Structure 1
C-alpha cells in the first residue's frame, strides 16, 4: 500500500490478522512511526483517524458504503433543520418574529431545503436498494461511494430550485401594531402564486417521490419473494435483506410524518376553510409531526443497523490499542528532539515516507 504523505505527518501502521490489513509472516504486530509536526494519521483495524492541525476526522471503512453516504446526507439535512427550531419556538411562544430579515430568510430556506433534500435522498436510497436487489451485477459499477457523493450534490442542487427562491422571497411582514411575521411575499396576485407554489411542492416533494418509492419497493418485494438466494453467500444475502428492511422503515416513517402536513397544506390552498381553534391545533400538530421525523432518524439507524451501532460505539469509546498509541505518541514527542536536516536529506526522507 502506497501512502501519499506531506512533510510533518506521523503515521502508525499496525498489522493485524484482519482482512485487508498488513500482516507480518510471523503474525507479530509491528508499528512504524514517522514524525511530522503537522498531523497524525492512524490506522487501527476498522477505522482511520486523521488529525490535521488539531482537527479529527474519523472514517470507518466498513461504513463507507453508498447507503451510509446517503444516510449521512439525510442526517446533514436533519441537523440543519433542527438548528432552526430555537428560532421557530421563540416565534410561536412570542407570537411575533423578533430576529429580523436575515434570519427569517435563513430559517425559511433551510426548512424548504430540508424538505426537498430529505425526500430526494430517500427516493435515491430507494432506487439504490432496487438496483442492489434486482440488478446486483449492475450494482457493482453503479453503487460506489463516489457516485453516491455525486448524487448527493445533485440532490442539493435540485433542492436549490425551491430553496433559493424562498430565500429571496422570505421577509418580515407586519401583521398588526405589535406583531411581525416571517413569511413569503409573492407578487400580485399573491393568492395565485401562493397556491401555485403549494401545488408544486405537493407534486414534486410528495406525490412523485412517493410514487417512485412505491414502485421501487413493490419490485423489490416481488424479487425477494421469488428468489431465495440473491447472492452466492448467505451472509451477504442476509445483510442485503437487512439493509433493504432498514431503508424501507426509514422511508415509511418519513412518509407517515410528512403526509399530514402536505395534505393539510394542499387542502387549505384549494379550499377556503375558516380559521378556528381546531384548524390551528391541526396545523401545529402536523408541523410538529414533520419535525419529529428529523429526531427519529438517528434512533432508527441505531436500532436497525448493527454495523452502525458497532462503529458508533467504537467512536465513542476508543479501543485500548488506540489509546495506547496516543499515549506513546505524546511520550515520544516530549522526550525526543528531531535533528535539523538539509534540503537533500529531507527530500530523501520524504520519498521513503511515501513508500511506507
Structure 2
C-alpha cells in the first residue's frame, strides 16, 4: 500500500519526526494523566468516607453505642456512671420510696419481714395487727401455742414453717439477746428464719444501718440493667456494693424494688412508659408502645398487692400517676 507524499507508512514524516496527530495525541495523553490520578484519589477518598459513615442505627466508628444496642462492650466506668444516674433519676421518680411493711418497732419489722416470704406485703399488713395484739413481745410469741399462731398467720401461706421461724427467733431473742432485736448483721443471721435479705431490711429501716436488700425485684432489675450477671443474691449484693456509696444502699434498695413492682415487671415490663428507658440496656424486653405500656403500670390503689395507698407523712411529694395508669 502506498502512502501519501512525504509520509511513511509508520506515521512518521520523511524526516523521521512523529506525525502531528500522534504528537498531539501524546501531549493530550500526558495532560490527561494528572486528571486520572485525581480520579483515583477521589475514588479512594469516597471509599474511605463511605467506610467511616455509620449505617443507620449503628454507632459511628470509634464511639460507643447507646445501651439499647451497644456495638462495643460497656466499660466498667461507663456502667458505674450509668448505674448511678439510674439511681439519681429513680430518686426523682420515687421520692417517697419506703419499706411497705407496717411496723412500730424492730421486733415487728423482723417478724413481718419473715412472714413476707412468698406472699405480698399487703397480705402481711392485713395479718400482723392481730398477731402483734396477741403477742406484742418476743417473750409472748416464744411462749405461744403453735397452733394458735398458725391460725393467725395462715393467710400468709406456708404458715407452719413460718410459725416455727417466728417462734424460734422470738425464743432466741429472749434467751440470747435480752428480748431485744440486735443491731448487727452477724447476730441477726443467727436467728431462725433470718437471712441476709431480712437482716438488711431490719438494719436499714429499724437501725439506720446501710444495707442492700436483694429480693426478687432487685435481682431482676440489677441483671436487666447489666449491673451484674450473677443470679446469686450474696454475689449480687457484693457487686452492687462496689458500684454505689454505702450511704445510698438502703434507699437504692427501696427505689429499685418500687420500680420493679410498679413498672419493670417480671413478665411484662412497661418499657414504653419507663422514665429511665434511655438508660436501660434491656429496653425492648417488654411493651414499647407508649399507650399499651401505660396500661401495664401499677400505680396507686388497686395497682398491685402490697402497695400502700399513700406514702408516709414524711414523703409529701408523691407525684401523680401518669395518664392511663391502673387505679
- The verdict on a shared fold, with TM-score over 0.5 as the criterion, is no
* Higher helix content, 1 or 2: 1
The TM-score normalised by the length of structure 2 is 0.20
The TM-score normalised by the length of structure 1 is 0.19
Larger Rg: 2
